[in-house]
Amino acid sequence: MSEKKPQFSPSIETQKSNDMVERPETPGQGGETHQHVIDHQRMTTSQGIPVSDNQNSLKVGPRGPALLEDFHFREKIFHFDHERIPERVVHARGYGARGYFETTDAIPELTSAHLLQEKGRKVPAFVRFSTVAGNKGSMDLARDARGFAVKLYTEEGNWDIVGNNIPVFFIQDAMKFPDLVHSVKEAPDRAFPQAQSAHDNFWDFISLMPEAMHMVMWTMSDRGIPRSFRFMEGFGVHTFRFVNADGKSSFVKFHWKPKQGLQSVLWDEAVKINGADPDFHRRDLWGAIQSGDYPEWELGVQVFDDEFADKFDFDVLDATKLIPEEDVPVRIIGRLVLDSVVDNFFAETEQVAFCTQNIVPGIDFTNDPLLQGRNFSYLDTQIKRLGGPNFTHIPVNAPRCPFAHFQQDGHMAMHNPTGRANYEPNSWKDGGPRADAETGFKSYPEEISGEKRKVRAELFADHYSQARQFYKSQTKVEQGHLADALIFELSKVETLAIRERVVAHLPNIDPDLAQMVSDGLGFEKLPKAHTPRRDVVDGLATSDALSILKNGPDSFKGRKLGVLVTDGIDGKVLKALKDAVKAVGGMIEIVAPTIGGIKTSDGKKVPADQKVDGGPSVLYDAVAVLATKEGVKKLKGMHAAKCFAADAFAHAKFIALDGEAAALFNAAGVTELDDGVVQVSDQDSAAKFIDKCKSLRFWDRMG
């Protein structure tokens, strides 16, 4: 990619030239309010050295690689990496599984990576999914980005694709990562809120970092509350390089696309699921694998050259930007299948160590400043968290191919060099391993020049164009959810000025969205929009790939039907539902007034999977209620049963009814049923109902 003329831009549009900043009114000790004027202290390193720029890491030119001599960045990121032990600082709540990766389309013309040279090649894989902000004991369905980290045990060493379920990130330079995480974590003076972004610190930071607005659109969308790990995309986030055997380089972005399709929950469901089952995502993945319904993703790549990169409206090294699939189609080259749960959670899921630096010959880095910082940081993090430099001796982290080096001793060393030689070069006959100039890893010889400065490329300063594109690409239903999420989150922000600063970004994304959020927060008038650093690119084409609802499941496979039943029901109807669900590869759970279950009209015993107050409808993708007249009378007296019906209807689930079940909905306040409610009486009607459920929800019910 050719160098563009260096143009420099600060990353914070609201940065002031003076040191005097007026703080909003805050309660005093006696309940009164005071107007504070703070004379900020000069920022220094821990050695007392004054800091000139806390926004950008030192690099060669505005688009060049980061420099190791940046002592301020090293100190800042090292201190951040070592803040907690033994829990991960971020991505602490995770869940892992084993499986394999298989190449389905060989691409030797693009990369020399051994794994991708031949169709049908398989390697073992370990995958860890996670939330970002909460601790190990937090709930699964927090509104958050999700980690999607894949370790491939290849014949050339471990290749880690350490990404998220969102293709962009909040920040452009790793210098800001400690600040981002500090802002979203619990406040240090009160240690709450936990695993939530709906608080002053996070939105204060976001309001002052316009580069985060694209990621904010994603996290406030339904992507922030996925139905399960199995219905979630994964992305490598950064631009990497493919390098083929001839040394030719191409740029590449990695995509994991779920074969099951995309699916999310509603916010009200997420809140209730976290109460009913805070391990909902864990239980879902465990149950699917144990039942033989192995989750599967396709690995896709977007490959492009310098010419495309130079013509693209945005900088491909900017991690807050994506490349629309309509501009560069995703080519599917492999599949990832998870077919085994771990033997011990701590030994594998908790101790697995992913590093973005773990790449194999044929893959290489770019000068993305966030990726450069991650490469530097992750190794240090694992050394601290796992007790020393020998974390690769832990089985889950050890390569499955032969390895040889002269590293020795250290904390928990499980193997050391044998023989006399533990250094190189040496002249001993059995002197140990040597570098291999032919097959060893070689970095792509990119030409780099530029001034050594703390800067960013000018194209990095467009913070709103792709945020607008993302919002415009959502369906009306999804746009409504996004607006509701912003209103909810900002309603938890106590400081009015912060709420106003955030909303002032929204007109640059979409005026209607800005007005909806402003009205939802009760503002008398819409705050004046911030002036963009660069003009917003108008007319970017919408992208269907950015919408969940346009990429949902095409059947009920892998999803779950909850059936609320009472004594005396027709067993043939229940069997018809079970058969219909099984026929498409779905799951079914029986919910009853007692865990002992019920008896059908012919006296057959049906055990229950859940008692009604332990199996609310939010746990299911669709529901059925089969009840006799006497059974409905009993259910009407149970608050949990009425909530089961009311929530199922309110959350736009498809509902099957038999017998007198409609009366339960009337008792729950649902006086008029709609086309999303289906009467089932036999095998044919049950099959039609399950086919209807492939549409996820009856969205017409929500207006």
User: How does pLDDT run across 93-104, given as a tens digit for each residue?
Assistant: 999 999 999 999
Query: Residue 34 pLDDT > 70, yes or no?
Result: no
Ranges 17-21, 270-274, 302-306, 582-586: which has the least confidence: 17-21
pLDDT in tens, 644-674: 999 999 999 999 999 899 999 999 999 999 9
Average pLDDT over every residue of 422-451 = 91
Give the pLDDT of residue 38: 52
**CA dihedral defined by 469, 473, 478, 480, rounded to 10 degrees?**
60
What's the pLDDT at 378?
Answer: 94
- The predicted pLDDT at position 703 comes to 73
- Give the per-residue pLDDT at 268: 98
Asked whether the predicted pLDDT for residue 256 surpasses 60, the reply is: yes
Percent of the chain at pLDDT exceeding 70: 94
Q: How confident is the model at residue 555 (pLDDT cuts 50, 70, 90)?
A: very high
Whether the predicted pLDDT of 676 surpasses 70: yes
Residue 605 and residue 537 in one domain: no
Q: Does the pLDDT value for residue 217 go beyond 50? A: yes
Is 25 contained in some domain?
no
**Dihedrals φ, ψ of 655, to 5°?**
-130, 130
Residue 167 domain-assigned? yes
- Of 109-123, 370-384, 428-442, the poorest mean pLDDT is in 428-442
Range from 59-73, 173-187, 628-642 carrying the lowest mean pLDDT = 59-73
Please tell me whether residues 560 and 545 are part of one structural domain. Answer: no
Residues 331 and 185 in one domain: yes
Q: Which residues pair with 625 in a beta bridge?
A: 564, 657
In angstroms, the CA 572 to CA 673 distance is 24
pLDDT at 22 over 60: no
pLDDT of 36 above 70: no
Report pLDDT digits (tens) over 474-490: 999 999 999 999 999 99
Dihedral sign from CA coordinates of 208, 209, 212, 213: positive
- Tell me what pLDDT residue 429 has: 87
Q: Is residue 373 part of a domain?
A: yes
Cα–Cα distance list, 691 to 204, 662, 696 (Å): 46, 21, 10
Q: Judge whether 562 and 624 are in contact, CB under 8 Å.
A: yes
Q: Which of 230, 285, 293 is nearest to 587 (CA)?
A: 293
For residues 531 and 618, state if they share a domain: no
Report d(CA 456, CA 458) in Å as an integer. Answer: 6
The single residue listed with the structure tokens 């001599």 is: 69
* 157 three-state secondary structure: strand
**Structurally, how many domains does the chain consist of?**
3
Q: What is the pLDDT of residues 259-294, one digit of tens each?
A: 999 999 999 999 999 999 999 999 999 999 999 999
Where is average pLDDT lowest: 11-25, 142-156, 226-240? 11-25
In a domain, 458, yes or no: no
Domain match, 109 and 151 both: yes
Q: Give the per-residue pLDDT at 265.
A: 98
The mean pLDDT of 246-250, rounded to a whole number, is 97
Residue 293 lies in a domain: yes
* 240 and 343 belong to one structural domain: yes
Percent of the chain at pLDDT above 90? 85
Torsion sign across C-alpha atoms 148, 301, 329, 250: positive
Same domain for 500 and 377, yes or no, is no
Which one of 482, 517, 549 terminates a domain? 549
- 526 and 560: one domain? no
Question: What pLDDT does residue 452 have?
Answer: 92
Shared-domain flag, residues 509 and 608: no
When pLDDT is averaged across residues 514-523 and rounded to a whole number, the result is 98
Q: Are 229 and 519 in contact (CB under 8 A)?
A: no
CATH of the domain at 138: 2.40.180.10
- Identify the pLDDT of residue 666: 96
Indicate the burial class of 422 (C-beta count within 10 angstroms; 0-12, 13-18, 19 or more). middle
Closest C-alpha among 691, 585, 670, 684 to residue 625 = 670
Ramachandran sector of residue 675 (left: φ over 0; alpha: ψ -120 to 50; beta: rest): alpha
Mean pLDDT of 161-190: 97
**Is residue 568 a part of any domain in this protein?**
yes
Residues 544 and 571 in one domain: no
Domain assignment of residue 479, yes or no: yes
Average pLDDT of the segment spanning 44-56: 84
**Predicted confidence band at 250 (pLDDT cuts at 50, 70, 90)?**
very high
| 46 confidence band (pLDDT: 50, 70, 90) | confident
Which residues are part of the catalytic machinery? 91, 164
Average pLDDT score over residue span 331-350: 97
Q: What is the CATH number of the domain that holds 640?
A: 3.40.50.880
Instruction: Compute CA 326 distance to the chain's CA centroid, rounded to the nearest angstrom.
Output: 22
Confidence band (pLDDT; 50, 70, 90) for 3? very low
CA dist., res. 248 & res. 108, Å (int): 11
The yes-or-no verdict on residue 27 having pLDDT over 90 is no
Provide the CA 212 distance to its chain's centre, in angstroms: 15
Residue at a domain's end among 370, 397, 424: 397
Helices within 141-255 (DSSP H only): 177-184, 200-207, 213-220
Phi and psi, residue 315, nearest 5°:
-85, 125
Instruction: For 238-272, give the DSSP string.
Output: S-EEEE-TT--EEEEEEEEEETT---B--HHHHHH
Same domain membership, residue 220 and residue 85: yes
pLDDT of the residue at 85: 58
Strand pairing partners for 162? Answer: 149
Give the residue numbers spanning the domain of 314. 59-397
Q: Are residues 542 and 658 in the same domain?
A: no
CATH number of the domain that residue 509 is part of: 1.20.1370.20
pLDDT band of 344, cuts 50, 70, 90:
very high
Average the pLDDT over 543-554 and give the result. Answer: 96
CB within 8 Å of 670: residues ≥ 6 apart? 645, 646, 649
Helix %, strand %, coil % of the chain (to 5)? 30, 20, 50
Asked if the structure places residue 668 within a domain, the reply is yes
**Cis peptide preceding 86, ω within 30 of 0:** yes
pTM for the whole thing?
A: 0.90
| Higher per-residue confidence, 16 vs 429 | 429
pLDDT mean across residues, the chain: 92
Q: Which residues contact 674 (CB under 8 A, 6 or more apart)?
A: 698, 700, 701
Round to whole Å and give the CA distance between 634 and 661: 11
